[in-house]
Amino acid sequence: SNNFFLLAGPCAIEGEEMAMRIAERVVEITNKLEIPYVFKGSFKKANRSRIDSFTGIGDEKALKILKKVSETFEVPTVTDIHEVTDAAMAAEYVDILQIPAFLVRQTDLVVAAAQTGKTVNLKKGQFMSPESMQHAAKKVYDSGNEQAMITDRGTMFGYQDMIVDFRGIPTMKQYAPVVLDVTHSLQQPNQSSGVTGGRPDMIETIARAGVVTGVDGLFMETHFDPANAKSDGANMLHLDHLEKLLSNLVAIRKTVNSL
Amino acid sequence: SNNFFLLAGPCAIEGEEMAMRIAERVVEITNKLEIPYVFKGSFKKANRSRIDSFTGIGDEKALKILKKVSETFEVPTVTDIHEVTDAAMAAEYVDILQIPAFLVRQTDLVVAAAQTGKTVNLKKGQFMSPESMQHAAKKVYDSGNEQAMITDRGTMFGYQDMIVDFRGIPTMKQYAPVVLDVTHSLQQPNQSSGVTGGRPDMIETIARAGVVTGVDGLFMETHFDPANAKSDGANMLHLDHLEKLLSNLVAIRKTVNSL
Amino acid sequence: SNNFFLLAGPCAIEGEEMAMRIAERVVEITNKLEIPYVFKGSFKKANRSRIDSFTGIGDEKALKILKKVSETFEVPTVTDIHEVTDAAMAAEYVDILQIPAFLVRQTDLVVAAAQTGKTVNLKKGQFMSPESMQHAAKKVYDSGNEQAMITDRGTMFGYQDMIVDFRGIPTMKQYAPVVLDVTHSLQQPNQSSGVTGGRPDMIETIARAGVVTGVDGLFMETHFDPANAKSDGANMLHLDHLEKLLSNLVAIRKTVNSL
Amino acid sequence: SNNFFLLAGPCAIEGEEMAMRIAERVVEITNKLEIPYVFKGSFKKANRSRIDSFTGIGDEKALKILKKVSETFEVPTVTDIHEVTDAAMAAEYVDILQIPAFLVRQTDLVVAAAQTGKTVNLKKGQFMSPESMQHAAKKVYDSGNEQAMITDRGTMFGYQDMIVDFRGIPTMKQYAPVVLDVTHSLQQPNQSSGVTGGRPDMIETIARAGVVTGVDGLFMETHFDPANAKSDGANMLHLDHLEKLLSNLVAIRKTVNSL
């Protein structure tokens, strides 16, 4: 259908019930709108600002839930890895391995992900230029894996804010399919509380701009109860708003496809 | 028609012939596409990086050309002013007085423009947040003039680059109609040559993102021979590319209007 | 004595008494410490964020107070100008004409200041690179005036913060004597209140770094009652802290001179 | 002697001979100047921009060279770790484990380093505020290890430049002893070549500003032949310039101590 694809789900796998509930609803919406869908969930939160933040329910347990979501709803899944040894482990359960933005310069990790043969989703470092992502993609290709994707999740702007540089979308499409992460792009890091803030009211603004500038896919975290989610509550989209948002974006994509 | 409006023309009024030639072509295109059009031209370039840069053909002479364009093609015009005394002078010739980005914090200048009764187009300083433009708009309103517009022309990102923060579009629409200046937003200032660079290949990317995030108008500099223009040649859109660009943007606007 | 020189005084001339009181105390301290001193005061605040901010007591009145300070204490004076017509007017009363950071790209203003024959203090735009200040200095020199100075007052870092880039001190010394404005460098602009914030606790940190990296002069705003000053209260140094601060800086300068 | 301490050495351990040669010279200089010295060398370069960059001579081999330097010259050593499993391994050979800037948000890595009981040197992420480093330090303390250090290596400023924010020095001293990394702070990342650039001419400028604003230690990479070094040649200080630099810095430190 030449639509954009969607990577979406909760920030962290908090348990089976919540994962299945979110997946079921997103599958329903994306089927209706003919959007290719990949379920997203972190099996572990490894880079939280504070030591007392929630980090996960157990690696194996969370990965099995991802597998169950995949089998139940017949959708591929994506999760992020943080150490070389995570690559082979996670590859047994999911279809796409994601390299977090802070870690995208770690050659060993990128190569380990690439060597599993799974698609590698490289998040652009908040401190990297769009152009510099070509070197990250090349690390995947030079490992004999042609399946790289690049996800933009915003660029640092001062200490406590991020901006999406939309010039980066066409630039990075020269290196790999490009995804825009519309929820993390709106984070406001380095808050005095040690808990990252956000601007979820701007999700549609940023998502529209991504679609119109040619992204191949969108990434967003969504939850039926963001305020009580165990991580990133300040940024996730409420699941109830997802259908209207995607419906608007599909209409824009159709127009863009026709130009 | 609920279309966006367009402020467009050459960077500087270099002479009558070039102004008329550009106006004629833009009028033709915007009539066809039902885009409300305002002819733009600077009567003076007052803030060039280098002392040996072109600054104008004479204030009065250039302003008269703006008037002639207006009368010939029945379009309103806009020009930028730099000192308090420019306000009343320019107001005799044009319909919209524009406050340059570097000068938008100069209260006397904003008030002088407002007091002419003309519409005042406030360019967001490259060093200002979208939220802080409410104070600039308030200076116009408190002078008894309800006709303010805000134009975003990008925000400094490091010394030699600018980014458009599209979160600013809905934010600034709370204060006044918002215009996106798609050519200056792509400038790359502080180059070692003392001549500002640009990324004209990104004009459509930035313009599309502006339309889809809700701008009321677009601003762009265009010329039939950018490479030989006397200022800002690195940023202007070639006039031959204008129709296709605007046609795409109108299609996107129609979709956005329908959501 | 090969010491640094000092430009200091209140942000705005609020009246004769306060100006004389501040000048008297600073003269006393700088005589003791053998620091060449220039009294600083704005005759008008032309670029306040909000229209309801204090802008001055009257141009002529304030300029006469500057003249009186100069004659009483036998010190030169500096004030900032905002329009071309200010240049000749202010030049009758003061020794150094200062171009505000927002206005330093306005060629007419810089040239008008240069043509008075007075020393021209060019504030580096918060949006300018150190290297680009060579073009501003050249505008002074090409006007037949060899007396340019460059003052760094910080560089925008995100929307609401500024950083001093100390690499800029040796860089700009290639073009003209360099001054570090230690109070404005610590401003935090674009606050939601419309009133610029500050970090006066960091004045000595920034001032020391300036001295040790080779500044020719320091600029600071000081007041005997910053909290009740009519502008920039968030940034000014309390006059009671000036002697200890300068005494430390002189000690550092002596060491630097000996290396 | 209340002097600053120094972490210095080559970027990467390229072999035993070069390590010993550098250590010998730095020991000689620091003994003379009474500067407590820690030999620095990376056993592996894990986060190079390009996949074809040099990454090391073998982990074990490089770590043994660090041990030999330590035993030969009776100096402590520091090296950086990149994965949890590196922590225990490196702790057998060195005295200080360093967490690279890109990895300082990885809780597992910081905790693993802390649990070895070795001192943990936390590099401030180029994307982090000084204030946010308190959370990184707390991860060390909450792991039962009181020996944390924080090293500033600059903050992203646009895509291709970094700035040192000296306000961060006194801020971070509230959380742990603070070191300024004067060579990496001058990097210019994201260059189109995929090789990070630098400004080694600014090393003394930045180092002086660090000493005068109160750093506890300095970090610098030095080599007898930077142009032919296998990594970071653009930033390292030539070993021949080290004595004069440190001698100047010690003089400044003595003055600061006396204030």
Give D1's pLDDT tier (boundaries 50, 70, 90). Answer: low
Nearest CA in chain A to C155: A158
Following DSSP, what letter does each residue of C211-230 receive, concatenated? HHTT-SEEEEEEES-GGG-S
Residues contacting C238, CB < 8 A, separation 6+: C222, C223, C224, C226
Do the chains contact at D132 and A102, CB–CB below 8 Å? Answer: no
SS3 C206: helix
B72 touches chain C (CB under 8 A): no
Q: What is the mean pLDDT of residues C193-207?
A: 85
Give B233's pLDDT tier (boundaries 50, 70, 90). Answer: confident
Do the chains contact at C167 and D199, CB–CB below 8 Å? Answer: yes
A161 touches chain C (CB under 8 A): yes
C190 touches chain A (CB under 8 A): no
pLDDT tens digits along D107-130? 999 999 999 999 999 999 999 999
Which of A157, A213, A258 faces B208 most closely, judged by CB atoms?
A: A213
pLDDT tens digits along B119-173? 999 999 999 999 999 999 999 999 999 999 999 999 999 999 999 999 999 999 9
Complex ipTM: 0.94
Q: How far is CA B98 from CA B42, B90, B109, B124, C200, in A?
A: 10, 10, 10, 11, 36
D49 touches chain A (CB under 8 A): yes
Cβ pair D34, D253 in contact under 8 A: no
Number of Cβ within 10 Å of residue D61's Cβ equals 13
C258 touches chain D (CB under 8 A): yes
Do the chains contact at B46 and C102, CB–CB below 8 Å? Answer: no
Per residue, the 3-state secondary structure of chain A, as one string, reads CCCCEEEEECCECCCHHHHHHHHHHHHHHHHHHCCCEEEECECCCCCCCCCCCCCCCCHHHHHHHHHHHHHHHCCCEEEECCCHHHHHHHHCCCCEEEECHHHCCCHHHHHHHHHCCCEEEEECCCCCCCCCHHHHHHHHHCCCCCCEEEEECCEECCCCCEECCCCHHHHHHCCCCEEEECCHHHEECCCCCCCCEECHHHHHHHHHHHHHCCCCEEEEEEECCHHHCCCCCCCCEEHHHHHHHHHHHHHHHHHHHHC
Per-residue pLDDT at D76 = 98
Per-residue pLDDT at A54 = 78
Per-residue pLDDT at B259 = 94
pLDDT more than 70, % of chain D: 100
Residues contacting D153, CB < 8 A, separation 6+: D101, D123, D124, D126, D181, D184, D185, D219
Phi and psi at residue C140, to the nearest 5°: -70, -50
Cβ pair B223, B238 in contact under 8 A: yes
The mean pLDDT value of chain C amounts to 94
pLDDT more than 90, % of chain D: 84
Nearest CA in chain D to B161: D158
Element (H, E) at D39: strand D37-40
Crossing angle for the helix pair D107-115 and D133-141, nearest 10 degrees?
40
Q: What is the mean pLDDT of residues A29-51?
A: 90
Give D229's pLDDT tier (boundaries 50, 70, 90). Answer: confident
C127 touches chain A (CB under 8 A): no
Which of D50, D84, D131 faces A83 most closely, judged by CB atoms?
A: D84
The mean pLDDT value of chain D amounts to 94
Per-residue pLDDT at A193 = 75
Q: What is the mean pLDDT of residues C28-43?
A: 97
Do the chains contact at D46 and A106, CB–CB below 8 Å? Answer: yes
pLDDT at A203 over 80: yes
pLDDT at C103 over 70: yes
Which of B83, B108, B127 faces C126 most closely, judged by CB atoms?
A: B127
pLDDT at A47 over 90: no
Residues 166 through 185 of chain A touching chain D, CB cutoff 8 Å: none
Q: What is the mean pLDDT of residues C31-52?
A: 89
| CA neighbor of A216 nearest in space, from A4, A2, A1 | A4
Q: What is the mean pLDDT of residues B248-252?
A: 98
In a mutational test of the C interface, the residue from B159, B161, B187, B196 whose CB has the highest number of chain C CBs within 10 Å is: B159
A46 touches chain D (CB under 8 A): yes
Which of D169, D205, D258 faces C167 most closely, judged by CB atoms?
A: D205
pLDDT tens digits along A130-166? 999 999 999 999 999 999 999 999 999 999 999 999 9
Q: What is the mean pLDDT of residues A197-215?
A: 93
Residue reference for tokens 């070895």: D116
B247 touches chain C (CB under 8 A): no
pLDDT at C128 over 70: yes
Token code pair at residue B204: 């459509």
C102 touches chain B (CB under 8 A): yes
pLDDT at A90 over 70: yes
Do the chains contact at B159 and D159, CB–CB below 8 Å? Answer: no
Chain C neighbours (≥3 Cβ pairs under 8 A) are A, B, D
pLDDT at C54 over 80: no
C242 touches chain D (CB under 8 A): no
pLDDT more than 70, % of chain B: 100
Q: How many CB pairs under 8 A join B and D?
A: 14
d(CA A46, CA C34): 57
Per-residue pLDDT at A41 = 96
pLDDT tens digits along D155-201? 999 999 999 999 999 999 999 999 999 999 998 888 877 777 778 88
**Minimal Cα–Cα distance from A14 to chain B, Å?**
31
d(CA B119, CA B114): 7
**CATH architecture assignment, domain A5-258:** Alpha-Beta Barrel (3.20)
pLDDT at C170 over 90: yes
Q: What is the mean pLDDT of residues B50-57?
A: 79
Q: What sections of chain C are H helices per DSSP?
A: 16-33, 59-73, 84-91, 107-115, 133-141, 168-173, 203-212, 242-258
Crossing angle for the helix pair C59-73 and C84-91, nearest 10 degrees?
30
pLDDT at C196 over 90: no
Nearest CA in chain A to C158: A158
d(CA B39, CA B230): 18
B115 touches chain C (CB under 8 A): no
d(CA D130, CA D152): 8
| Residue D100 bridge partners (DSSP) | none
Per-residue pLDDT at B17 = 96
Per-residue pLDDT at D230 = 82
Question: Residue A250 carries which side chain, given as an amino acid letter?
Answer: V
Per-residue pLDDT at A17 = 96
Number of Cβ within 10 Å of residue A133's Cβ equals 27
Per-residue pLDDT at C1 = 65
Q: What is the mean pLDDT of residues A36-62?
A: 87
Do the chains contact at A159 and C158, CB–CB below 8 Å? Answer: yes
Give A230's pLDDT tier (boundaries 50, 70, 90). Answer: confident
Per-residue pLDDT at A1 = 65
Query: Cβ contacts (< 8 Å) between C142 and chain B: which residues?
Result: 51
Residues contacting C88, CB < 8 A, separation 6+: C112, C116
D158 touches chain C (CB under 8 A): no
Following DSSP, what letter does each residue of C32-80 receive, concatenated? HHT--EEEE-BS-----SSTTS---S-HHHHHHHHHHHHHHHT--EEEE
pLDDT tens digits along C220-245? 999 999 888 887 777 889 999 999 99
Residues in chain A: 259
Nearest CA in chain C to B139: C51
**C55 or B100, which is more confident?**
B100
Nearest CA in chain B to A201: B167
Chain A neighbours (≥3 Cβ pairs under 8 A) are B, C, D
Q: What is the mean pLDDT of residues D25-42?
A: 98
pLDDT more than 90, % of chain B: 84
pLDDT at C140 over 80: yes
Query: Cβ contacts (< 8 Å) between A137 and chain D: which residues?
Result: none
B227 touches chain A (CB under 8 A): no
